[in-house]
Amino acid sequence: LRQQVSQMERLSLVGRMAASITHEIRNPMAVVRGFVQLMQERTTLEHQKPFFELIVAELDRTNEIINDFLSLAQNRITPKQMLELNDLIRAMHPLIAAEANMRRIGIRLLLDSDVPPLLLNDKEIKQLILNLTRNAVEAMDDGGVLTVETRFDGEAGEARMIVSDTGPGIPPQTLERLFEPFFTTKERGTGLGLTVCLSIVDNHGGRIDIRSEEGKGTDFIVTLKAEAADSDG
Ligand code: ADP
Ligand code: MG
């Protein structure tokens, strides 16, 4: 038992260290970002503006990696409440739409009102929705349709959220490595999006399945157990 306790303490120490290190990095980075933007606005050399834009974009990417890393490193038991999955999807809709509109992508929400309230961590599930829909949007370079669907399987006591795109699909060799940390096929990808998704779904005792057909598109299927309200998950 003693061994166990000290191991848990060490884990949370690593989590706390990760949190304070990322905090110490994020603050100076925000200052740098602010001044770079100021320089971009003030410069009289038009041809230099794209360089400043690039610096800001790369700073933003670094910040994204730090955020994803932080949520993985902390790996804590997150508080959960009985929440409506459909409400969380609706709450994310404007953000998803903003990203989709820039690429001529249509959005369909097919939300099953039979899905009961589920034991969820609000922040994590929103992050999950965002990461999956963002990947779907990024897969559809030439436009397409993004569908977010929910379904309730009463017999199995399982709720499903299916994020589908009409993109190019995922080749088998990529499929194998999808959840590896830092695996990306994108020039500006972090490769942490799906790693975070997997950790979130794990945290909720659920699973992720993938259905993909080359040339047709991809479905990410998240399955969550519907539990009694008095269970602690
Ligand atoms: P990133 O988006 O930063 O590359 P992710 O972990 O979110 O990292 O995704 C890893 C890789 O999985 C992507 O680079 C891409 O190759 C593949 N992928 C994820 N979602 C899709 C999708 N909907 N369609 C096609 N490929 C996808
Ligand atoms: Mg991603």
Q: What integer best gives the mean pLDDT of the chain? A: 90
Mean pLDDT score, 91-111? 95
Helices (H), 43-118: 49-74, 85-101
**Distance between CA atoms of 83 and 163, rounded to whole angstroms?**
19
222 three-class SS: strand
Pick from 194, 212, 219 the residue to mutate for probing ligand 1's pocket: most ligand atoms within 8 Å of its CB.
194
pLDDT tens, residue by residue, 66-85: 888 887 777 667 889 999 99
Q: Which helix (H) or strand (E) holds 123?
A: helix 122-139
pLDDT band of 21, cuts 50, 70, 90: confident
Tell me the two tokens of residue 55. 């610096």
Percent of the chain at pLDDT exceeding 70:
91
Q: Tell me what percent of the chain is helix, strand and coil, each rounded to the nearest 5.
A: 50, 20, 30
Model confidence at 211: pLDDT above 90:
yes
Q: Pocket residues for ligand 1 (CB within 6 Å)?
A: 131, 135-136, 139, 165, 167, 170, 174, 178, 183-186, 189-195, 218
Torsion region of 25: left, alpha or beta (phi above 0 gives left; psi -120 to 50 gives alpha): alpha
pLDDT tens, residue by residue, 103-114: 999 999 999 999
Report which ligand 1 atom has the smallest distance to the Cα of 183: 10
ipTM above 0.90, yes or no: yes
Mean pLDDT score, 17-43? 90
pLDDT at residue number 2: 57
Which residue's C-alpha comes closest to atom 20 of ligand 1? Answer: 135
Tell me the two tokens of residue 182. 């830092």
Q: Give me ligand 1 centre to Cα 74, in Å.
A: 23
**Distance between CA atoms of 77 and 57, rounded to whole angstroms?**
32
**Distance between CA atoms of 176 and 44, rounded to whole angstroms?**
49
Tell me the two tokens of residue 42. 């003030």
Which residue's C-alpha comes closest to atom 17 of ligand 1? Answer: 178
Mean pLDDT score, 21-33? 91
Query: How distant, in Å, are the alpha carbons of 104, 133, 164, 167, 178 from that of 98?
Result: 11, 12, 17, 18, 26
**Distance between CA atoms of 200 and 91, rounded to whole angstroms?**
18
Contact 208, 224 (CB under 8 A): no
pLDDT band of 9, cuts 50, 70, 90: low
Could you give phi then psi for residue 26, rounded to 5 degrees? -65, -40
Model confidence at 87: pLDDT above 90:
yes
pLDDT at residue number 230: 46
pLDDT band of 3, cuts 50, 70, 90: low
Task: Say which DSSP state 173 is in.
Answer: H
pLDDT at residue number 125: 96
Near ion ligand 2, which residues have CB within 5 Å? 135, 193
